[in-house]
């Protein structure tokens, strides 16, 4: 499964939201499309994060070379910056990941640049340390661990509330980082917390 992460610096929030809702009219009928959702950054005003899921790269490329521009045109003047990254699904963070957003209020993303010679260890620690810890946390609904080019990784986790996600963060992250030897694996890490907009879900 292909995971697409889009980060937008939005100029006109109301117009951007109107355009985003229009994607729901056409995307469900596209071959290979699995789901899409997103929302607003809690830490960066005016920043929207979107996540789209496709069965594979072939279906995605066909969409991008065909109907994509027609869907995107109404939003063209609503943002000042647009960043796109593609990742391939590696692991479910909790068994049975589905790209559905209706039961989640909050999404946490972590974007990590890993030392190339430590990538295998990083994936192993995700499987053995991080995934079980998150999967066992109350309020954590589902998640996905995906890999991009040049040892670039994305971890998405969906939570039913900010309070439950806060309990996991406050009580576990430092301990798990030490156990997984995260500092030895990672060159850079960035993250954000996204308040999901249900009207954007497809």
**pLDDT in 10s for each residue of the chain, 202 residues:** 999 999 999 999 999 999 888 888 788 889 999 999 999 999 999 999 999 999 999 999 999 999 999 888 888 899 999 999 999 999 998 878 889 998 899 999 999 999 999 999 999 998 888 888 887 787 889 999 999 998 999 999 998 866 555 555 555 777 777 887 788 899 999 999 999 999 999 9
Residues 6+ apart with CB under 8 A from 155: 93, 109, 110, 112, 126, 130, 143, 144, 145, 146
From 91, 74, 88, 116, select the one nearest 3 (Cα to Cα): 88
From 29, 176, 1, 192, select the one nearest 99 (Cα to Cα): 1
Backbone φ and ψ of 102, nearest 5°: -65, -30
Residues 6+ apart with CB under 8 A from 152: 85, 87, 111, 112, 113, 114
Q: What is the predicted pLDDT for the residue at 168?
A: 52
Query: CA-to-CA distance for 61 and 19, rounded, in angstroms?
Result: 22
From 51, 56, 85, select the one nearest 157 (Cα to Cα): 51
Query: CA-to-CA distance for 188 and 164, rounded, in angstroms?
Result: 26
Q: What is the predicted pLDDT for the residue at 78?
A: 94
Strands (E), 115-172: 140-147, 152-159
In this structure, are residues 1 and 89 in contact, taking their beta carbons and an 8 Å threshold?
A: yes
Q: What is the predicted pLDDT for the residue at 54?
A: 98
Strands (E), the chain: 2-10, 33-41, 47-54, 79-92, 106-114, 140-147, 152-159, 186-196
Strands 140-147 and 47-54, by their bridges, are: unpaired
Q: How far apart are the first and last CA of the chain?
A: 17
């Amino acid at each position: 499964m292909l995971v697409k992460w889009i980060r937008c610096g939005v100029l006109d929030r109301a117009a951007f939201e109107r355009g985003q809702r229009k994607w729901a009219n056409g995307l469900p009928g596209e071959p290979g499309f699995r789901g899409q959702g997103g929302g607003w950054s809690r830490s960066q005003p005016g920043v929207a994060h979107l996540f789209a899921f496709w069965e594979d790269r072939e279906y995605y490329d066909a969409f991008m070379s065909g109907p994509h521009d027609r869907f995107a045109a109404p939003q063209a003047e609503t943002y000042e910056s647009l960043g796109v990254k593609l990742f391939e699904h590696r692991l479910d963070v909790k068994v049975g990941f589905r790209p559905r957003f209706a039961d989640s209020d909050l999404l946490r993303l972590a974007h990590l640049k890993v030392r190339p010679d430590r990538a295998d260890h990083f994936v192993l620690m995700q499987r053995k340390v991080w995934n079980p810890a998150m999967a066992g946390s109350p309020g954590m609904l589902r998640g996905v661990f995906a890999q991009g080019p040049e040892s670039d990784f994305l971890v998405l986790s969906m939570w039913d509330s900010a309070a439950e996600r806060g309990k996991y963060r406050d009580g576990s992250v430092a301990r798990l980082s030490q156990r997984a030897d995260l500092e030895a694996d990672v060159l850079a890490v960035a993250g954000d917390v996204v308040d999901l907009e249900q009207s954007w879900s497809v």
